[in-house]
Chains A and B, each alone.
Chain A
Amino acid sequence: MVEIKNSLENDIFTIYVIGEVDASSSIHLDESINEATSKHKKIIVNCEQLEYISSAGLGVFMSYINDLNEKDIKMVIYGLSEKVLHVFQILGLDQLLKITNNEEEAKVIVNGI
């Protein structure tokens, strides 16, 4: 099961992904990213409490790659555990999505400094 929380600080919209993202709970992740990309240009995905992500969950991130480029939205993922990061890497998503180690780096990227 996954729990998803949001916060808006200045113009940065943060999505907190907590728990496990599997085939059924990936729908919630999809909904919240969809909502975020339709309203905000600066999005940070906090995955510090993401324990597991299945291929269906990865598919959700993947499906926004084109959107982000086309709409010029900056989305950064940070706080991935070693295991989860490895899953992103094997699939090659680390080459297409911006992934940082911590919030500061993520903020730097979304602010475009």
Chain B
Amino acid sequence: MIELPTEALWLVIALPLGGSLLLHFVGRWLGEPRAGYLTCAASLAAFGVAAVAAVPFLTGEGHPSQSLLWEWMPAVGASFEIVWDPLSALMTLVVTGVGSLIHIYSLGYMHGDPRFHRFFAYLNLFTASMLTLVLAGNYAMLFVGWELVGLCSYLLISFWFTRPSAAAAGKKAFVVNRIGDFGFLIALMLIFSSFGTLSYSGVFDRAGDELTGSAATLIGLMLAAGAIGKSAQIPLYVWLPDAMEGPTPVSALIHAATMVTAGVYVIARSAPIFELAPAASGVVAAVGALTALWAATIALGQSDIKRVLAYSTISQLGYMFLAVGATAYVAGVFHLMTHAFFKALLFLGAGSVIHAMGGRQDMEEMGGLRKAMPVTFLTMGIGVVAIAGFPPLAGFWSKDEILGVVFNQGGFFTVLWLVGLVTALLTAFYMIRQFVMVFLGRPRWPEGVIPHESPRSMTVPLAVLAVLSVLGGLVNTPFRLGLEHFLEPSFKGVKLGHPAEGVVSILVLAAVAVGAGAVGAAMAFFAYHRPPEAWRRFQAAFGKVWGWWEDGYRVDDIYGTILVSPGRRLAEQAAFRLDLDVVDGAVNGVARLVRAAGTMIRPAQSGLIRQYGLWFGLGLVALLAWLLVRGGV
């Protein structure tokens, strides 16, 4: 067995970072497809290094370790140091593994784009940033990665920046994320003022003894604010649906599989703090449950293939928040992992469909694609079944564990469990609805569109992800808690939420959840496996409510009215009143004062040298007279 010293882990970050830097300088010269091959190689190599380094954890011999790359601000416990424990190992494997598949997929998807090399440079930069985030050994380095992934998200959402909507979506994502980051930054300051350090080991070892309940609650809430922004929860989820303006691989990698899970990761990582702050955990769980339901209802009414998946992502992230809020960190991370598999699969499948439809995303124009693209049909079908939570696919195990833990907590959490259950029904409904609208029924393609199966570079990642979506859930079943044992060293000393013991309760809960999913799936199938006129009648039966779902409850309009336009007015006032009149006025006033004073005393400068001499002489006389009167000398 190869023993890899943890000191070599810097390679995991350095490889994609190097690929990105190289492409920035010589990408145009490398051109398509060599620029893409280079980044795929960098990403795969990072995955290889991480996989080798993770072997000790799999065999149960590994110990969490920390390696210092270089000192940055040692006084505040902020250095570039890599923490290598099961949690960061799992995240690294997900990021580089799913990331590599999406890199390969992009070779086909971005074929012929004039900025092909630039896309891959950004993709590699994102991978490096995300790895900085998950491998960070302290909150300062985590924040560096946190901001960098935000930047990459912005760059990639507005990749096709000539489209005004893409440019606006990138800007919106950045600004909304800043709101959450503000809370995150406050959390960092609170942590520093409580502990005098930002390093994980320094904070978590002493949290139990030194942190008061109120301070822990405040830190927890502020961390949650950052996580809510990054992981697109209520009320800061509005940027994620718009982020679908980016190329589809970006939606799969950043806005489904990895970056948006950063919030969940941060809460799981900060488990020792949240353990002292049950109120903050409760808020996280409630926000998660509410978001899960809210976004699932909106997903029902969408007809854009990617927007359905976007709202579905928000909803699934809500599940993860519900889990980590219920202190079931393992369940949350488990769902994070399985979701990365099947949501990446669904997005890439959607990308394949969009590719085949010549860039069209409206599901009303699809239908009957089953024959035209069999591989996409099959793999996406697996993804749909996985997310809908049918056994034995990945989504069933992770979602079921979350619901089981939440139910077991009792009390207030029983309500959240019910919300989660309803969401499971809705999830099955909107996913089956999408599947039926896209692949089954009669073709409704516009004229001139001849769908075709995507190239090999796109279908192979789909197949790999489909396999992962089938098998990924088996790592942590109630019969064999593999992932929980794997992650144990990362949550040492933290009390984890568990589902109820006993085969009967497990089976009953699972049956209820699967039953809800089956009801949703059946409803969707019978409502939508009919001609379009029949769906319209079905949708019309909901009356106004369906319109709310289609419009996403008009949240964008509401935010626009109560937040954006007042903000814009304030900015306008500041720019055109405050800046022009007050600030510029003060500057101009000083200038006018100087000019007036100059005009007043300018006549003294006559240019007549004899006049100057006269003043000189008079001055001398005055000086002498003064000396005489004073009687000194």
Tell me whether A and B are bound partners: no
Enumerate chain A interface residues (CB-CB to B < 8 A): none
Enumerate chain B interface residues (CB-CB to A < 8 A): none
